[in-house]
């Protein structure tokens, strides 16, 4: 009876538009609803950007994305998407410094949505010294100023968004540039399918869609009061990371993630103690039709081996034909789940006070 009572409370809260607006004071719901359109705008921004002549016919030995938080995930998503296509590594750098291999044969995307991320500003200066090819993506700030002073045309995107909600601009502009540079194959057909899928999901997952027909609301209700443990294959590593960070920033809820097959070589043994704490965990498997066959088998066996320990096990599957559409369909679902979990937790999903406070304290050092 107690479980049913809690469930009904969550159902009423996520279906009550007035209640949602009282909690979602910064209107994160609208930003999520606008995501499909934002992705389309990101493509146009990339298409309209005038590439430097030094980038034409340039084949890098490595592509490096340098950024933090919502600005960095673009590199991870692109690496997952083209891992079986490109013949050079695509890596993401989240630090004040850059790897020693960066040189004139490296293409570096320096991304800071605000343009004021101190780690990214620091790494940008190092990239300049190494004489790497540079593409700067930002909405303004110090990074844009520095790029212009160094005669680098920044790719400008609209400002005024929380960085994590600007992914459509950041990802699709960079993804489009890689196609323009002929570093990855044309993804026009896959992009069109992705936009169509996201538009459909927007309707299925919106606050107007009632609980009984809204997958995101149902999953959020199950996650309330639990510690999500996210498992995925390497194909969905970036989507898993995005889900974890969205749970942290939007839902203000702690979670953990690991990947297959690696977790089968260590973490699987952790499902023993402390037993009382394990019952507070809820496992979420992120699955894709393109997962390696042996990985699929490992996931299935792992579920059976740990089934008695967590509070429950959920499966979330990608949908669509292309890898781009599949990955973004699941990412968008997870974004909405994090939103509804914030509503269940009765906390505004937009503010990130602790991050803001940390930055203020750093400035005072």
- Summarize pLDDT for 31-73 with one digit per residue, the tens: 999 999 999 999 999 999 999 999 988 999 999 999 999 999 9
Write down the pLDDT at residue 8.
Answer: 46
Write down the pLDDT at residue 11.
Answer: 64
116 domain-assigned: yes
Residues 111 and 39 in one domain: yes
Tell me which residue range forms the domain holding 56. Answer: 33-186
Closest Cα to residue 228, out of 305, 314, 145? 314
Residues 218 and 242 in one domain: yes
Give the model confidence (pLDDT) of 77-116 as tens digits: 999 999 999 999 999 999 999 999 999 999 999 999 999 9
Residues 296 and 215 in one domain: yes
What span, in angstroms and rounded, lies between the C-alpha atoms of 326 and 194?
Answer: 8
In the predicted structure, residue 9 carries a pLDDT above the cut 50: no
Q: Which of 186, 211, 237 is the last residue of a domain?
A: 186
Q: What is the per-residue DSSP string for 311-325?
A: SEEEEEE--SSSHHH
Bridge partners, residue 62, by sequence: 106
Give the model confidence (pLDDT) of 202-229 as tens digits: 999 999 999 999 999 999 999 999 999 9
Q: Which of 122, 157, 186 is the last residue of a domain?
A: 186
Catalytic residue among 131, 185, 300, 359: 359
> What CATH number does the domain containing 287 carry?
3.40.50.10490
Residues 255 and 113 in one domain: no
What tokens does 307 get?
A: 């089934």
Catalytic residue among 193, 226, 249, 287: 249
Task: Report helix, strand or coil for 244.
Answer: helix
pTM of the predicted structure, to 2 decimals? 0.95
Q: Could you tell me if 318 and 240 are in contact, meaning their C-beta atoms sit under 8 angstroms apart?
A: no
265 a catalytic residue? yes
42 domain-assigned: yes
Residues 37 and 146 in one domain: yes
Residues 18 and 40 in one domain: no
185 a catalytic residue? no
Write down the pLDDT at residue 13.
Answer: 82
Domain total of the chain: 2
Q: What is the per-residue DSSP string for 200-242?
A: HHHHHHSTTS-GGG-HHHHHHHHHTTSEEEEEEEGGGHHHHHH
Catalytic residue among 265, 360, 361, 363: 265
237 domain-assigned: yes
193 a catalytic residue? no
| Percent residues over pLDDT 70 in the chain | 97
Give the model confidence (pLDDT) of 142-193 as tens digits: 999 999 999 999 999 999 999 999 999 999 999 999 999 999 999 999 999 9
Residues 151 and 111 in one domain: yes
352 domain-assigned: no
Q: Which of 186, 214, 244 is the last residue of a domain?
A: 186
317 domain-assigned: yes
Closest Cα to residue 108, out of 132, 78, 126? 132
62-66 sheet: strands from edge to edge? 90-93, 62-66, 106-112, 133-138, 155-156
Alpha-helical regions (H) of the chain: 2-15, 17-23, 28-33, 35-48, 73-82, 118-129, 141-149, 167-180, 188-205, 215-223, 237-249, 275-278, 293-306, 323-344, 353-363
196 domain-assigned: no
DSSP state of 145: H
Residues 330 and 265 in one domain: yes
364 domain-assigned: no
Residues 16 and 56 in one domain: no
């Amino acid at each position: 009876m107690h479980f049913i009572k809690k469930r009904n409370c969550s159902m009423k809260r996520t279906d009550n538009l007035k209640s949602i607006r009282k909690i979602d004071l910064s209107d994160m719901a609208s930003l999520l609803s606008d995501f499909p359109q934002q992705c389309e705008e990101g493509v146009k921004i990339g298409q309209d950007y005038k590439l430097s002549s030094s980038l034409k016919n340039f084949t890098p030995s490595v592509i490096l994305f340098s950024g933090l938080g919502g600005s960095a995930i673009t590199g991870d998503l692109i690496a997952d998407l083209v891992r079986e296509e490109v013949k050079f590594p695509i890596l993401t750098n989240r630090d004040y410094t850059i790897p020693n291999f960066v040189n004139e044969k490296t293409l570096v995307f320096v991304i800071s949505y605000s343009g004021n991320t101190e780690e990214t500003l620091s790494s940008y200066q190092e990239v300049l010294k190494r004489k790497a090819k540079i593409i700067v993506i930002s909405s303004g700030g110090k990074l844009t100023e520095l790029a212009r002073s160094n005669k680098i045309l920044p790719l400008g995107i609209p400002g005024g968004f929380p960085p994590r909600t600007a992914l459509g601009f950041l990802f699709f502009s960079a993804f489009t540039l890689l196609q323009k540079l002929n570093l990855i194959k044309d993804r026009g057909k896959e992009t069109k399918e992705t936009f169509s899928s996201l538009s459909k999901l927007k309707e299925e997952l919106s606050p107007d869609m009632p609980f009984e027909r809204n997958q995101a609301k149902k999953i959020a209700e199950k996650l309330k009061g639990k510690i999500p443990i996210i498992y995925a294959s390497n194909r969905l590593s970036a989507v898993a990371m995005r889900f974890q960070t969205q749970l942290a920033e939007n839902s203000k809820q702690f979670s953990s993630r690991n990947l297959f097959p690696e977790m089968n070589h260590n973490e699987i043994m952790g499902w023993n103690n402390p037993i009382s704490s394990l019952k507070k965990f809820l496992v979420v498997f992120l699955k894709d039709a393109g997962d390696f066959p042996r990985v699929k088998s490992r996931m299935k066996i792992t579920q059976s081996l740990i089934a008695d320990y967590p509070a429950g096990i959920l499966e979330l599957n990608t949908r669509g034909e292309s890898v781009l559409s599949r990955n973004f369909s699941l990412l968008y679902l997870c974004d909405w789940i994090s939103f509804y979990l914030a509503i269940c937790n009765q906390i505004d999903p937009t503010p990130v006070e602790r991050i803001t406070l940390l930055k203020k304290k750093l400035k005072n050092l």
